[in-house]
């Protein structure tokens, strides 16, 4: 891939719009429909969390390269923790499954807090790696 594709938008309460943006971006970058759908699902969960738990404002940035698509979601609240990401929902849970789902479908998930803000980075490769979800977690989440 020559020039890197890029997307940079404020998080919106219009989740359908956010999903469409990410889907179009992933497809334009060269992702398969299935992998793009997984990325859209993960981003929808993260954006929903920003809207519900982090004051409702933030930024979604995405870039594509020869490996796949990486999405950066930031918010000013800075409240998302590693413990939140590592939490496994119970067998009868009806809420609280979004972050677990993100970890299951994304190839890489990183969390940091630059300047007290939350920065979550999700990567989805063009090719489905043959590793388990536990192997895909960055050292920061172990």
pLDDT in 10s for each residue of the chain, 142 residues: 445 779 999 999 999 999 999 999 999 999 999 999 999 999 999 999 999 999 999 999 999 999 999 999 999 988 888 888 888 878 887 777 889 999 999 999 999 999 999 999 999 999 877 544 445 555 445 4
pLDDT of residue 137: 52
Six-digit token string for 48: 């929903």
Residue holding tokens 């972050």?
99
Nearest to 69 by CA among 36, 41, 47: 36
Q: Are 43 and 60 in contact (CB under 8 A)?
A: yes
Question: How many structural domains is the chain composed of?
Answer: 1
- Rounded to whole angstroms, what are the CA distances from 131 to 16, 103, 140? 31, 13, 18
pLDDT of residue 130: 57
pLDDT of residue 24: 97
Report the CATH number at residue 36: 3.30.565.10
Burial of 109 (0-12, 13-18, 19+ CB in 10 A): buried
- Domain holding 62, by residue range, is 5-141
């Amino acid at each position: 891939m020559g020039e890197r594709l890029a997307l940079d938008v404020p998080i919106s309460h219009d989740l359908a719009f956010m999903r469409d943006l990410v889907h179009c971006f992933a497809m334009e970058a060269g992702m398969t429909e299935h992998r793009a759908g997984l990325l859209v699902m993960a981003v929808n969960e993260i954006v929903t969390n920003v809207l519900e738990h982090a004051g409702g404002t933030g930024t979604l940035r995405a870039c594509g390269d020869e490996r796949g698509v990486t999405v950066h979601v930031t918010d000013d609240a800075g409240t998302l923790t590693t413990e939140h990401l590592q939490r496994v929902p119970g067998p009868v849970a009806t809420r609280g499954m979004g972050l677990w789902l993100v970890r299951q479908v994304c190839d890489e998930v990183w969390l940091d807090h630059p300047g007290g803000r939350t920065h979550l980075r999700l990567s989805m490769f063009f090719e489905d790696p043959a590793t388990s979800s536990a192997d895909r977690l960055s050292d920061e989440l172990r």
